[in-house]
Chain A
Amino acid sequence: MTSPAAPAVEKVISRAWGTPHSHTLAEYRKRGGYEALKKALEMAPQAVLEEVKKSNLRGRGGAGFPTGMKWSFVPKDSPKPKYLAVNGDESEPGTFKDRYILEEDPHLMLEGIAIAAWALDVHTCYVYLRGEFKFAAQRLQAAIDEAYREGIFGKKMLGKDFELNVWLVRGAGAYICGEETALLESLEGKKGWPRLKPPFPAVVGLFGCPTVVNNVETLASVPPIFQRGADWYAKLGTEKSGGTRLICLSGSVNRPGVYEISMATTLRQLIEDPDLGGGMPAGRKVKAVIPGGSSAPVLAADELDVALEFEALKVKQTMAGSGGVIVMDDRTCMVRSLWRVARFYAEESCGQCTPCREGTPWQTRLLRKIEEGRGEPEDLEMLLNVATSIAPYPPIGLGTTICALGDAAALPVHSFVARFRAEFEAHIHEKRCPFGDRPWGHFGDWA
């Protein structure tokens, strides 16, 4: 058992949140805003890229790919224009950090965009924002307008002859558009059907041109690297992953919310630390925790002494994903929970690949049948069979579909059944949900 207190860490991304007018350029400048860009503009683009590599920054959207390496895949001698596409299509269930960045400190990300554009010789950037985010869109557009007015974007960048245009594009309600190639399709004005890779977007991306796709938090992590140095940033993190991390805590816990933590923090510390999750609601115990958005395989109560970090979670056959930690307590029905998760993937499957298009509703139907007490003994094997046909597990990444949505839909099924098989069997044998009409362990008025 580890100590209940999480390791202390300096806040890098969330430090201004909640302070008055934190979203304005004036306040951002008082915090040293756009000084990192000044430094970066004095460096050669290649040196900027090397600095990001040295920082060990890894993508915060879900896959955790090293950012500097991603940038280095953009061909230097391409005669085509290059693009930066920002992935702000935050829709992974349990994830709500990018929204806070954009609402509370949009210039942090915009400065990251400017630095990335300089490093990559990009002159056009599209920020693809989830369609539902009205307030974040307003805050972000206002910040972009400020940056144009103050000579950061537009024809010149802080007086330097370097043009950058930044356009906000709002999505329209499709989880799949958070997948980077679906996002590019959507930016091109199409339905969000993922593309086969390779070629990767860094080579053939938006409008057939080299394109870097980075998550909001990833770009917001760039200015601190130049303010304080890549070595400092790398040391905040673990051996293979620099910096801090935003974690979105939700579900059955006393203090849900977004927390910036050290990547050495364990799941147990995240839940128990009085300054973080603040423990479980009275009389309840942890039953299960999803550590990285609903696509990440679930962990049981005895698996919480694991650091919320890419490599450590990989060892547990799950993933750090988008940082969405969802806590389920001992009054929660795991069949009901999995059914709801399965419905999400069935709803959001884009329909392109057969295993996912057909398999996700099939999983949902079987889970509904079991939850409603109509399950047959063979249904559980059938459920696993369907999940395996979409994506076998373990390990993660064996999916039979073009994009990872298939994996994301199958992993919860595999992991829930592996850890809570007896509960699924009880539903089938008792021909009812053992939790009766209270499958969610309700809170407050909704009891």
Chain B
Amino acid sequence: MAEPLFTPEQQKTFDTELAEILTHYPPDRKSAAMLPAVRLLQSLKGWCPPEGLTLVAERLGVTKERAYEVASFYVMYHLKKPGKYVVDVCTNLSCSLRGAESLLGYLEDKLGVHAGESTEQWTLRETECLASCGTAPCLQINEDHFENLTSREKVDAVFAKLK
């Protein structure tokens, strides 16, 4: 038998939080809650498994294709299980002018993974502007933000805490 999507506690969290989210929208506009609902799913599962998107679609009264369409449009939703840490390095213009390409190269060597690829531990991606241009270069690990990464030592210090 297939494993259930959620543990009982997760299911309870999902139900409670989704019910709260739905109060933000007109009663006949449940499908508007798609982005927060998919975010909630991902916060519980670490990614958006197909059966999770199906559940979201059912709860919001839309087709599962519609849920998949939305989940696949936005880069923050993971349709495949990512590494434990998703490392997003901004290489847009302001960061590149401050060395982001070299920083990315350093991380590829340090983490042993190419940009755009994943291991069990790491998913390394180039990302677009993270609005830290004044404190460039910057990166994001899962949802946490790190700025002013102007030296290898500073990068090493960020990663030293991750196991």
- Closest residue to A446 on the B side, CB-wise? B99
- Besides A324-B133, A326-B97, 7 other A-B contacts (C-beta < 8 A): A94-B94, A134-B144, A189-B33, A189-B35, A256-B94, A347-B128, A444-B151
A-B contact pairs, 22 of them (CB 8 A): A90-B131, A91-B128, A92-B129, A95-B133, A131-B39, A132-B140, A165-B24, A170-B39, A172-B74, A191-B69, A207-B26, A207-B32, A252-B97, A256-B134, A257-B134, A294-B92, A294-B129, A344-B92, A347-B128, A441-B97, A446-B99, A446-B100
Closest to B26 in A: A207
* Residue A258 CB within 8 A of the other chain: yes
Q: How far is the CA of A249 from the CA of B131 in the complex (A)?
A: 11
> Which of A96, A173, A350 is the one whose CB lies under 8 Å from B76?
A173
Among B60, B102, B144, B151, residue most surrounded by chain A Cβ atoms (within 10 Å) = B102
Residues of A within 8 A of B76 (CB): 131-132, 171-173
- C-alpha gap A324/B131 in the complex (Å): 10
Q: Measured between C-beta atoms, what is the minimum distance from A77 to chain B in Å?
A: 21
Question: Given the complex, which residues of B lie within 8 Å of A135, measured CB to CB?
Answer: 145
Dominant SS at the A interface? mixed
- Report A383-415 residues with CB < 8 Å from chain B CB: none
Indicate whether A440 sits within 8 Å of B99 (C-beta atoms), given known contacts A133-B131, A167-B24, A446-B150: yes
Chain A 113-136, CB-CB to B under 8 Å as 1, else 0, gives 000000000000010001111110
Give Cα A252–Cα B130 distance, bound, in whole angstroms.
Answer: 18
B 57-101 contacts with A by CB, 8 A: 60, 69-70, 73-77, 91-94, 96-101
The 10 closest A-B pairs by CB, nearest first: A446-B99, A189-B34, A172-B74, A250-B133, A191-B73, A173-B75, A173-B76, A250-B94, A446-B102, A93-B129
Residue in chain B with minimal CB distance to A348: B128
Q: In the complex, which residues of chain B have a beta carbon less than 8 angstroms from the beta carbon of A249?
A: 134
Name the A residues within 8 Å of B140 (CB-CB). 132
Interface contact A341-B129, CB-CB below 8 Å? no
Contact A94 B129 (CB under 8 A): yes
Question: Does A174 sit at the interface, judged by CB under 8 A?
Answer: yes
In the bound complex, how far is the Cα of B98 from the Cα of A239, in angstroms? Answer: 37
Min C-beta distance of B80 to chain A, whole Å: 15
A443-B98 contact in complex given A170-B39, A172-B76, A190-B34, C-beta closer than 8 Å: yes
- Cβ contacts under 8 Å, B103 to chain A: 446
A340 touches B136 (CB 8 A): no
- A189 touching B74 in the complex, CB below 8 Å, given contacts A132-B143, A256-B136, A445-B99: no
* Contact with A191, one of B32, B70, B92 (Cβ below 8 angstroms): B70
**B interface residues with partner A (beta carbon < 8 Å):** 24, 26, 29, 31-36, 38-39, 60, 69-70, 73-77, 91-94, 96-103, 128-137, 140, 143-145, 150-153
Chain A, Cβ-Cβ closest to B154: A445
A99 to B134, CA, bound (A): 12
Scan A82-110; emit 1 where CB is below 8 A from any B CB, else 0. 00000000111111101100000000000
CB-defined contacts of B94 to chain A, threshold 8 Å: 93-94, 250-251, 256, 326
Set of chain A residues within 8 Å of B75, measured between Cβ atoms: 172-174
Nearest residue in A to B150 (C-beta to C-beta)?
A444
Most buried by B among A98, A169, A248: A169
Instruction: Check: A226 CB closer than 8 A to any chain B CB.
Output: no
- Docked pose: A30 CA to B162 CA in angstroms: 41
Instruction: Please tell me if the beta carbons of B152 and A99 are within 8 angstroms of each other in the complex.
Output: no
The verdict on A175 contacting chain B, using a C-beta distance below 8 Å, is yes
A93:B102 contact, CB within 8 angstroms: no
A60 CB → nearest B CB, Å: 15
Determine the residue in chain B with the shortest Cβ distance to A137.
B143
How long is the Cα–Cα vector from A224 to B32 in the complex, in angstroms?
Answer: 34
Task: Give every chain B residue within 8 A of A99 (Cβ-Cβ).
Answer: 131
What is the distance, in angstroms, from A420's C-beta to the closest C-beta of chain B? 15
Contact of A170 among B29, B36, B129 (CB under 8 A): B36
A340 near B74: Cβ-Cβ < 8 Å: no
Q: Of A132, A165, A175, A326, which contacts B93 at CB under 8 A? A: A326
Q: Nearest Cβ distance between residue B131 and chain A, in whole angstroms?
A: 4
Given known pairs A91-B131, A135-B145, the reply for A188 and B73 (CB within 8 Å) is no
Q: How far is B35's CA from A192's CA once the two chains are assembled, in angstroms?
A: 11
Residue A318 lies at the interface, judged by CB distance under 8 Å to chain B: no
**A207→B101 CA distance, assembly (Å):** 43
Give the residue of A93, A332, A443 whose beta carbon is less than 8 angstroms from that of B99. Answer: A443
Residues of B contacting A444 in the complex (Cβ-Cβ under 8 angstroms): 99, 150-151
Q: How far is the CA of A170 from the CA of B39 in the complex (A)?
A: 9
Partner of B133, one of A93, A169, A344: A93
The verdict on A94 contacting B133 (CB below 8 Å), with A172-B75, A444-B151, A446-B103 known, is yes
A207 CA / B39 CA spacing, docked (Å): 22
Interface residues of A in 151-169 (CB under 8 A from B): 165, 167, 169
* In the bound complex, CA of A90 to CA of B131 (Å): 7
Most chain B CB atoms below 10 A, which of A252, A337, A350, A442:
A442
Q: Is A234 an interface residue (CB 8 A)?
A: no
Q: Mark A348-370, 1 if CB is under 8 A from B, else 0.
A: 10100000000000000000000
Q: How far is the CA of A270 from the CA of B60 in the complex (A)?
A: 50
The residue in chain B whose Cβ has the minimal distance to the Cβ of A338 is B93
CB neighbours (8 Å) of A256 from chain B are 94, 133-136
Decide if A262 is an interface residue (CB 8 Å cutoff): no
